[in-house]
Structure 1
Amino acid sequence: MLYNILAPLASTAAIFASLTHALPAPTQTEDKRVPTTTVVTAQGTVIGAVGVVENFAGIPFAQAPVGNLRLRPPQRLNTSYGTLDATGLGPACPQMFFSTGGDLFTSAIGSLTNLPLLQVATDQTEDCLTMRVQRPVGTKPDAKLPVLFWIFGGGFELGSPQMYDGAPLLSEAVPQGKPFILVSVNYRVGAFGFMGGKEVLADGAANLGLLDQRMGLEWVQDNIADFGGDPEKVTIWGESAGAMSVFDQMALYDGDNTYKGKKLFRAAIMNSGSLVPTDPVDCPRSQDIYDTVVREAGCTHASDTLQCLRETPYDKFLHAANSVPGILSYTSMALSYLPRPDGVALRQSPEILARDGKYAAVPMIIGNQEDEGTMFSLFQANVTTTAELVDYLWTNFFPALDRSVVAGLVATYDPSPAAGSPYNTGLLNAVYPQFKRLAAILGDMSFVMTRRIFLSHALSLHPDIPAWSYLSSFDYGTPVLGTVHASDVLQVYFSLVPNPLTNYMKSYYIDFVVDMDPNAGLDSAMRAWPRYEGQGGEMMQFWAGGRTNLLSDDFRNASYAYLKAHAEVLHL
């Protein structure tokens, strides 16, 4: 069975490898001979590198979260760093690339694929709370350019700004007469940023990664004008866990997105992610994860286990933190680490905050890849019958519920492989009997239908605030994976293969960042992107080669209705 899965996956990986090996080399390098530019801020002088764009990386915005500051909220950096060499790529926070308890199949996936989600960051260190700023060459301090604030994805387990070079996007904006500044925030991931458990909750150490992101947004307000940016024109943008973080930033403190009396952002872009219904920080699942990490770190008998984790040597703590299931494992999207309600910053589960209007409502672009769930359904080859599928979801995702609730969800999905994901591929790609059905369910409950649920609340509460939605199908026909989760990053961020679609998508995004309307610079070859309005509103569907069409957001309505009706119990 393992060979039957790996064989088609290998061919699929080869397709993606041919693309991702062509990822543009980072615009800036560690080579000190590159031309430099200087920006003076209140905390010191920052030296950046000049290439296709001007790059300033590794700018600290908080004290190093090391020693007794490990597993604590970020502490604002109030001291000068003098003259800072920011010509490199900056550090990455400690990563959970794969669980240290991963199996052979998980390791094979890591060696076969090279999507941004699966890339290993270099220069990993706990001293990682830094910003990366990229701007057009020659930007003046008084330019007052709009700002795009990027939050990377990676299942709340991995990722860093160094993986994402904004040069292709910035280079497209300048000729259009719409320059802007791209800012990327580094935040703690895995156990370092999203540890749960009653001990964490009592200590006020929950959702540290979200607090890192929030402090990064505050850094932009305090400093971006020195780089030529306008702090009143910030758009927050994220993909996957980054998109979920965008919603969380909208919903933190019941929607209070102000700092020093001003708004931290004016618009939002969410690629493949929005609200994620979750149980509290001290729920049984989180407590099990915490107890496992404590045991693996040798802290079980400590009088204060959380303090023991703070004092554990870095390598030992990292291994313990990564000893629990990772996103690319059998438990899949039942994540070990993710934002959870803590009653203080994230005060309730996100779907409740959305329903009650306790979020900062701003113009937004929000959408999905057609086959969001395929990547996360490669590890469950023993799931061969409907009963086994129900049991898999029940035991790994919703063990506190009555099994009948999970069975009801599964019943809304056609059991025929022809109906599953990757969609519209008939009986092909069924690498095990329930693969395509599971891929459909995981994609919907984690990404596609949560987007629709959020939009339904947003339109009901704020009908005058515009939203634009999309579904990407540009990798239709890719074996096994289809238009897989995270593939849009290759199109929009990296611009790997020049084609009309990439140019159109970048133009829509640039117009939205600058004018808060993706149609502001529409040319004759581009389709007008309608606002999402009403139940099952129209969304843009993107295909390879630049083809687009409008799609009514009413597919799989029975599954949507079930997920919405049970959103407050179907919690991770």
Structure 2
Amino acid sequence: MRLAVLVTLALVALTNGAPAPAAAPTAKLSDGSVLTGGTQGSQVYWYGVRYAAAPVGNLRFAPPKAPPSPAQGPPTSQSNRRRQYGGNNTYAGQNQAEAGQKLWNIEEDPDEQTSVQKGGKVQVQAIDSTTKGPRCPQSGSVSDQDEDCLFMNIQRPASLSNGANVPVLLFFHGGGFQGGSGNDIDPTAFIQAGIDNSQPVLVATINYRLGALGFASGETMEQLRDSTPSNVGLNLGFRDMQRALVWTRANVASFGGDPDRINIWGQSAGAFGVGALLLGNPDSPPFQGALMQSGTPGGPPIDSASTGTKTDQFNRLLDNVGCDQNDSNEGKLSCLRSQTWKTIRKASIQEQSRASSDYIRGSYPWTACIDGGVSRKGFFSDRPSVVLSQGNFAKVNLLSGNNEDEGTPFAPQSFDDEESFGDWYKKIWFEDPDSDEANSAFSDLLQAYPDDPTVGSPYRPKNGDNDNRFFGDTNQFKRAASIYADTRFQSVRRNLLKNYLKKSPKTSIYSYHFANYRDGDADYLGIPHGADLDFVLGRNTQNPSMDAKIAQRWIAFATNGNPNIDGLANWPKYTSKNKQLLQYRDGTSSIVQDDFRVDAMNVLNRDDILALTGR
């Protein structure tokens, strides 16, 4: 007994002498709801933060709506799902008025969130925000997927107060509009690089709708959008990004972020999304800067919503879920909304599988379309190059760049002659690949991209053998990788910057060329698509110091529009007179001219080829 008392007293003494555990971080939203997050080392986070209403039931294929009030967490249990959706899979707040909401004006609107009331008072509750929300439907395991997927993860240094007003980076993930998730992006090392350089920053990553649920178009969808724009939308994945921007603008101050210093940042499909938001917010943009890694407003073909290719895709979706193509437009929509999300997911993936075996326009199904532009709460009033040439884009600071061998992960390895190479390129880039215009343009491109492995991609094979075709003596892989990369990534970057320099001369532009090998990549990949992101996020373990320096430049740009920091070489602005790039190569950085393959890319950026390729 005496021993037990002594032990108890000792434990009490130890407890009294130890510091109290840090309180869990909280953030109070604009509607009064309180989110409770977690702590990880020197950083705090809030996961599974709902930035839009669940896009289920009658909100499937609809533009994103404001999230309910009080706030709700992810659908982690059946009881929570019933509370959020009701018993018939219909979102509980979807039919409530959103009085005063100005979705596209992006202002701090007191009515930014809908109200779920009881007894005339908003019911405020504490929300556990320590669990990430589900991924949007895509290929892979469904165990962590759900149609109710429009969630955000927020992270910042723990040392900051909720009123710190630090710069904000809102990140959009890649995945070809078919896959990926904000959950895949861990900003811990990136944020730590800022802490180590006294550059605190807040990073938010989001999910957005993918595949058919995010980018279905076609004649039926366009007609439904035209007749009931609040009920049916186009380019919904991009609309989700815009919705996330609305929510961030209204609420990020509660987490320690500065709503006047929001920067939109994306990689691959996410960078194309950033480009879409540049075109969708030409006047008084609600963000101060844009960072685009391997993407611009154009790249994949952007065609009319009712082209034959997109209409055929939508009709196959109807067939694959058992809906009648001959039904009225409203009947087709009702049928699609009556299906389970797993049924829609399966049909969406079937179209992706078809694209992998039968070349289709743009290489992927379910991609963006011309949606009427800003006047229709969209992004593209025309092809991106046309909109850019008109100067209809956000005049904000830009940071944009590519990897040296963007095309190697995408180029087929089976082409042993020019005919098969040409059949592939014309089908994925030309709406009518057999037309005289397509054949004439492709003839010019063959001259610009000759059958010479020494000028193909990878441009600097690790083994130094530039004559190596990798997959056979006559194989066209290096040629295909070069022209694919320049069509989808490099030439459109140059076209974007050219139009910014012409139409927005006061904009600060910084561009880079990433040519640093990544450990583990096969020789034929060179420095492939996605390599730069591993270094920016600190996922590369071969040179942590280099990773941190790159991250610090990105954070400096987000802070004041200038990526230059003390102790690192000067990164000059990209100007009409000095088109210079910061190049990362062999573990260091240097300044190079943006003049590689300039003649070939000038062919790609001819007006007729821009039109034929939908860029």
Q: Could you state the TM-score of these two structures normalised by the residue count of structure 1?
A: 0.84
Q: Which amino acid in the other structure matches residue 295 of structure 1?
A: D
CA contact (8 A) 2:50 2:150 kept: yes
2:601 corresponds to which of 536, 560, 563 = 560
Deviation at 1:177, TM superposition (A): 1.3
Q: Deviations over 1:86-108 (max 9, x none)?
A: 102222111145xxxxxxxxxxx
Single out whichever of 225-234 and 323-332 deviates more from structure 2: 323-332
Q: Secondary structure at the match of 1:377?
A: coil
User: What residue is the counterpart of 1:512 in the other structure?
Assistant: 557
User: What residue is the counterpart of 1:437 in the other structure?
Assistant: 479
Q: Secondary structure at the match of 1:323?
A: helix
Q: Secondary structure at the match of 2:25?
A: strand
User: What residue is the counterpart of 2:130 in the other structure?
Assistant: 87
1:499 corresponds to which of 536, 541, 544 = 544
Single out whichever of 397-406 and 152-161 deviates more from structure 2: 397-406
With over 3 angstroms needed to count, the CA separation of the structure-2 counterparts of 1:478 and 1:542, relative to structure 1, is: farther
Q: Deviations over 1:480-539 (max 9, x none)?
A: 1110101111111133314332122112111111121011x230xx22111111267111
Q: Which amino acid in the other structure matches residue 247 of structure 2?
A: W
Partners of 1:34 and 1:377 in 2: CA distance = 51
Map 1:529-568; keep pairs closer than 5 Å: 529-534=571-576, 537-545=579-587, 547-565=588-606, 566-568=609-611
> Radius of gyration: which is bigger?
2
CA contact (8 A) 2:173 2:182 kept: yes
Single out whichever of 421-430 and 349-358 deviates more from structure 2: 421-430
Deviation at 1:78, TM superposition (A): 4.0
1:48 corresponds to which of 37, 44, 54 = 37
Q: Which amino acid in the other structure matches residue 226 of structure 1?
A: S
Q: Which amino acid in the other structure matches residue 377 of structure 1?
A: A
Map 1:95-106; keep pairs closer than 5 Å: 95-96=138-139
Deviation at 1:250, TM superposition (A): 0.7
User: What residue is the counterpart of 2:191 in the other structure?
Assistant: 170
4+ long deviations beyond 4 Å: 326-330
Partners of 1:385 and 1:162 in 2: CA distance = 42
Partners of 1:359 and 1:443 in 2: CA distance = 24
Deviation at 1:568, TM superposition (A): 2.1
1:392 corresponds to which of 415, 421, 424 = 424
The alignment status of 1:155 with 2:176, answered yes or no, reads yes
The alignment status of 1:251 with 2:279, answered yes or no, reads yes
Q: Which amino acid in the other structure matches residue 468 of structure 2?
A: L
CA contact (8 A) 1:63 1:75 kept: yes
Q: Secondary structure at the match of 1:571?
A: coil
Number of residue pairs aligned between Structure 1 and Structure 2 = 506
CA contact (8 A) 1:35 1:49 kept: no
Single out whichever of 395-404 and 146-155 deviates more from structure 2: 395-404
The alignment status of 1:411 with 2:438, answered yes or no, reads no
User: What residue is the counterpart of 1:284 in the other structure?
Assistant: 308
Map 1:265-344; keep pairs closer than 5 Å: 265-276=287-298, 277-301=301-325, 302-303=327-328, 304-325=331-352, 331=359, 333-343=362-372, 344=376
User: What residue is the counterpart of 1:128 in the other structure?
Assistant: 149
1:372 corresponds to which of 406, 414, 417 = 406
1:217 corresponds to which of 242, 245, 252 = 245
The alignment status of 1:427 with 2:467, answered yes or no, reads yes
Single out whichever of 490-499 and 162-171 deviates more from structure 2: 490-499
Deviation at 1:438, TM superposition (A): 0.4
Partners of 1:352 and 1:557 in 2: CA distance = 21
Partners of 2:189 and 2:333 in 1: CA distance = 43
Structure 2 unmatched ranges of 5 or more: 1-20, 72-124, 226-232
Partners of 2:534 and 2:151 in 1: CA distance = 24
Deviation at 1:551, TM superposition (A): 1.7
CA contact (8 A) 2:294 2:529 kept: yes
User: What residue is the counterpart of 1:77 in the other structure?
Assistant: 67
Map 1:131-210; keep pairs closer than 5 Å: 131-204=152-225, 205-210=233-238
Partners of 2:423 and 2:242 in 1: CA distance = 38
Partners of 1:96 and 1:535 in 2: CA distance = 46
Partners of 2:165 and 2:611 in 1: CA distance = 43
CA contact (8 A) 2:538 2:544 kept: no
Partners of 1:121 and 1:250 in 2: CA distance = 33
CA contact (8 A) 1:235 1:267 kept: yes
Partners of 1:535 and 1:136 in 2: CA distance = 40
Partners of 1:317 and 1:47 in 2: CA distance = 34
Deviation at 1:287, TM superposition (A): 1.1
CA contact (8 A) 1:352 1:568 kept: no
Deviation at 1:569, TM superposition (A): 2.3
Q: Secondary structure at the match of 1:232?
A: strand
Deviation at 1:431, TM superposition (A): 2.0
Partners of 1:200 and 1:354 in 2: CA distance = 26
CA contact (8 A) 1:121 1:160 kept: no
CA contact (8 A) 2:279 2:297 kept: no
Q: Report which structure shows greater RCO (CA 8 Å, sep ≥6).
A: 1
Partners of 1:371 and 1:174 in 2: CA distance = 32
User: What residue is the counterpart of 1:36 in the other structure?
Assistant: 24
CA contact (8 A) 2:431 2:613 kept: no
Partners of 1:139 and 1:492 in 2: CA distance = 23
Q: Which amino acid in the other structure matches residue 196 of structure 1?
A: S
CA contact (8 A) 1:375 1:485 kept: yes
